[in-house]
Amino acid sequence: MNENKIHDVAIVGYGPVGQTLAILLGRMGYDVAVYERWQSLYPLPRAVFHDHEIRRVFRMMGLEDELQKISQPSACYQWFNADWKVLVEIDWSAESISDGPFGYLFNQPGLEAILDRTAKSIGNVEVHQGWEVLTLDQDSHGCELRMQRTQRDGQAQPSEERQVKARYVIGADGANSLIRRQCGIEWQDLGFQEDWLVVDLQPKPGVQLDVPDIGQWCNPARPTTMVPGGPGYRRWEFMRLPHETLDDLQSEDKVWALLAPWVSPDTATLVRHAVYQFRSRIAQTWRHGRVLLAGDAAHLMPPFMGQGMCSGIRDAWNLSWRLDLIFKGLCTDSLLDSYTLERKPQIRAVIDASVEMGKVVCVADPQKATERDAAFLAGEVPPLPPFPGLSGGAVFKELPSGSPAGSAGCLGVHGEIEHDGSNQRYDDVFGRGFHLLSIGSDPLTGLSPSHKALLEHLQVKNVRLSRDGAPGTCRDLSGKYHRFFDEAGLQAVLVRPDFYLYGGVSDLGELPQLLDALGRDLCIPQARGGVPQQKQPLAAQV
């Protein structure tokens, strides 16, 4: 190995978040090295749910056909009291704004195998399994990692070390992140802590289980979760009761005793069981110079919204377009300052919602459970708030409040369009990048040369939509785009590479103001004498 080589990015951690980021940056043409303590992928299930936004990311990565083999669309998520009366229904099967159902259930080992094959097929991505970080140093030019070889059990082999240099380091190395600790970044504990026994099993051929497809049994005698674990698998989760010790839940006999109302060794094969401590934590900052955090290294949450892995994939998706603009010389690396400003408030809102859901589920006191049930059955409990968008960072803001203006920070809609005479998904036609999406007149008409230069600098795609497929436009077959524009009172929106809206205008005369703010928020170099020299990618952008 050439220890003098300087990688564009070194990623520490090779779970779904590290794998995803490696694929995204690798396909953009950047030199990526990934380091993982364990010599092989973890073979047992953990996460089982991803939402429509993450499915849209995976589709953009070209993984849809393989994902269909290890996942299934979600059903309605139901919460029951001890008597199996429905307290809450969240329709995860409903059509989402991303063109498909709201959620999917999947098998994580299957997902990681797909991501692993994909990452290792990219020539400019190096995957090094069995290497543990010892130290991390950085200066204004880059980072240096000191690595140590590990054995199959993850223990160190002191005889073999290496030095690794990179322009940036991403810590995607989990809740106990050494990268976070090396940077001195503190955890903020948000107060939720419960122990749950997680059990994954595989029903035997021909066995039909009499259980809710996705359910929380809010029974104070034993709060229980039942959920698919992807095609052919099921998961149960059982809360540790106040009088129980962790050892009480560890034995296989105890596992089968808890499962007895639904399955037995005659009807299912036990895949694994483990006790997890559900926590709510968030890192103080997600950037320390040239080091950034992603996934569980930056945040932990209870699983009741199914957003743990999803949130980490959003981190990778967000980082990928920022680093791309920086490496191309289109923006300064001050653009990374808004990574924490964007991701942390959204994650904090998701954690808070997950904690509140956990407080509903994790009730072991019969009297409190009776009071809870009465409030829900009487309709006295407000519904969950909508999924949060982005409230800070690179989104268009109202002055002087600094709040997102109108639809700014919302996830953009996605649907089917007619383009060049064929019906296609919008993302399949136009891909990633910045898009100026509009209905009506061409938004470029009347823009000043400097504003047009800004759009050209960022390689913004000008996409016009219509109801009838008029010349120069794409026909909105799904109707989603026109419904959105009509309801929001907008004529044009600027879509970021992660599908979130930078902002929108109700009149094209407001577009220059939007573009001026975009240039400031993206930290675009002020010298306009020419476009900064771009780093030439090795492969086509995702």
Structural domain includes residue 322? yes
Are 44 and 146 found together in one domain?
Answer: yes
* Predicted local confidence at residue 473, as pLDDT: 96
Q: How far is CA 65 from the centre of its chain?
A: 20
Are 332 and 457 found together in one domain?
Answer: no
Q: Name the token pair of 475.
A: 């026909």
Q: How confident is the model at residue 155 (pLDDT cuts 50, 70, 90)?
A: low
| Whether the model pTM is above 0.85 | yes
Structural domain includes residue 56? yes
Are 350 and 444 found together in one domain?
Answer: no
Check residue 397 and report its DSSP letter. B
Structural domain includes residue 335? yes
Are 33 and 160 found together in one domain?
Answer: yes
Give the three-class secondary structure for 375. helix
Asked whether residue 122 carries a pLDDT value surpassing 80, the answer given is yes
Number of domains in the chain: 2
Burial class of residue 388, CB neighbours in 10 A (0-12, 13-18, 19+): middle
Q: Per DSSP, what are the bridge partners of residue 137?
A: 144
Sign of CA dihedral 503, 507, 508, 510: negative
Condensed to tens digits (0 to 9), the pLDDT of residues 264-306 reads 999 999 999 999 999 999 999 999 999 999 999 999 999 999 9
Structural domain includes residue 85? no
Check residue 438 and report its DSSP letter. E
Average pLDDT over the chain reads 93
Asked whether residue 535 carries a pLDDT value surpassing 60, the answer given is no
Alpha-carbon distances, residue 457 vs 329, 444, 452 (angstroms): 10, 15, 9
> Could you tell me which of 418, 452, 420 has the C-alpha nearest to residue 436?
452
The residue segments making up the domain with residue 177 are 6-71+106-187+282-356
Structural domain includes residue 32? yes
Task: Answer whether 344's CB lies under 8 Å from 48's CB.
Answer: no
* Predicted local confidence at residue 343, as pLDDT: 97
Are 434 and 339 found together in one domain?
Answer: no
Are 326 and 439 found together in one domain?
Answer: no
Asked whether residue 530 carries a pLDDT value surpassing 60, the answer given is no
Q: How confident is the model at residue 534 (pLDDT cuts 50, 70, 90)?
A: very low
We report the CATH number of the domain holding residue 420 as 3.40.30
∠ CA(35), CA(41), CA(43), 5° rounding?
A: 160
> Could you tell me which of 298, 296, 321 has the C-alpha nearest to residue 309?
296
Task: Answer whether 322's CB lies under 8 Å from 336's CB.
Answer: yes
Report the half-sphere exposure of 14 (CA within 13 A, side-chain side).
29
Which residues touch 201 (CB under 8 Å, ≥6 apart)? Answer: 233, 234, 235, 236, 259, 263, 268, 269, 270, 271
Are 424 and 351 found together in one domain?
Answer: no
SS3 readout for 146-174: EEEEECCCCCEEEEEEEEEEEEEEEECCC
* Predicted local confidence at residue 45, as pLDDT: 85
d(CA 271, CA 343): 35
Are 340 and 420 found together in one domain?
Answer: no
Average pLDDT over residues 183-191: 96
Condensed to tens digits (0 to 9), the pLDDT of residues 418-469 reads 999 999 999 999 999 999 999 989 999 989 999 999 999 999 999 999 999 9
* Predicted local confidence at residue 154, as pLDDT: 61
Are 346 and 461 found together in one domain?
Answer: no
Asked whether residue 527 carries a pLDDT value surpassing 60, the answer given is no
Q: Name the token pair of 404.
A: 């997102």
Average pLDDT over residues 246-268: 95
Burial class of residue 4, CB neighbours in 10 A (0-12, 13-18, 19+): exposed
Structural domain includes residue 101? no
Are 24 and 160 found together in one domain?
Answer: yes
Structural domain includes residue 232? no
Burial class of residue 266, CB neighbours in 10 A (0-12, 13-18, 19+): exposed
d(CA 174, CA 492): 40
Q: pLDDT exceeding 70 applies to what percent of the chain?
A: 95
- Least confident range of 7-11, 39-43, 279-283: 39-43
Are 427 and 502 found together in one domain?
Answer: yes
Structural domain includes residue 301? yes
* Predicted local confidence at residue 504, as pLDDT: 97
> Could you tell me which of 109, 135, 116, 136 has the C-alpha nearest to residue 22?
116
Check residue 363 and report its DSSP letter. -
